[in-house]
Amino acid sequence: MLLENIDNIKNFTTHLFSKNTFDYCMVNEVKISTYSTFTIDGHLNYDYFSDEEKNDINNEHLVSWSKLRPICFDLIKGKKLPISFSIIFAMKRSFLNKLINENNIDIDPEDINDLFMNIKYKDDKLTLTTGVSLKIFTLDKSLENAFDKYISNFISTLS
């Protein structure tokens, strides 16, 4: 697990809410507290989609950040900062497969629930943590280490 304290909050949140930097992420949950608290469950409602649209979803079970980013931006924009927000991202299956292959990690992708990136803002502090959810027990930390390294490198490019 990686824990990063984000020093340049303005730059990071610009990337998060105003640019497509995080658009490759899928959203598990968003919670934004301003004049009210807004909670968004990122799980797709398959009953909403036509059969043709379901085929285009590509086996993803969560909505992409690119779809929710404008909505979330509308909730936080204004003269006042939000009281707090938290965003739980999950990585796309294609990202997960690429990470496994590029790092020669010996794990079946079917044994992985998700790779998570949690972003939390509260009391003028912004933190990012990572997490790996597996369906199996293993002492092997190579997937977690590779994911943490990727996210750490990714964050350093935002500065």
In three-state form (DSSP H/G/I as H, E/B as E, the rest C), the secondary structure along 87-145 is EEEEECHHHHHHHHHHCCCCCCHHHEEEEEEEEEEECCEEEEEEEEEECCCCCCCHHHH
137-150: per-residue pLDDT in tens?
A: 989 899 999 999 99
Q: What pLDDT is stored for residue 156 in this prediction? A: 92
Q: What pLDDT is stored for residue 50 in this prediction? A: 87
62-77: per-residue pLDDT in tens?
A: 999 999 999 999 999 9
Q: What pLDDT is stored for residue 20 in this prediction? A: 96
State both tokens at 23.
């658009």
84-130: per-residue pLDDT in tens?
A: 999 999 999 899 999 999 999 999 999 999 999 999 999 999 999 99
CA-to-CA separations, 77 to 17, 29, 38, 106, in angstroms, rounded: 10, 19, 14, 44
Largest Cα separation within the chain, whole Å, is: 49
Residue 131's pLDDT band (boundaries 50, 70, 90)?
very high
Q: What pLDDT is stored for residue 51 in this prediction? A: 84
Q: Are 26 and 60 in contact (CB under 8 A)?
A: yes
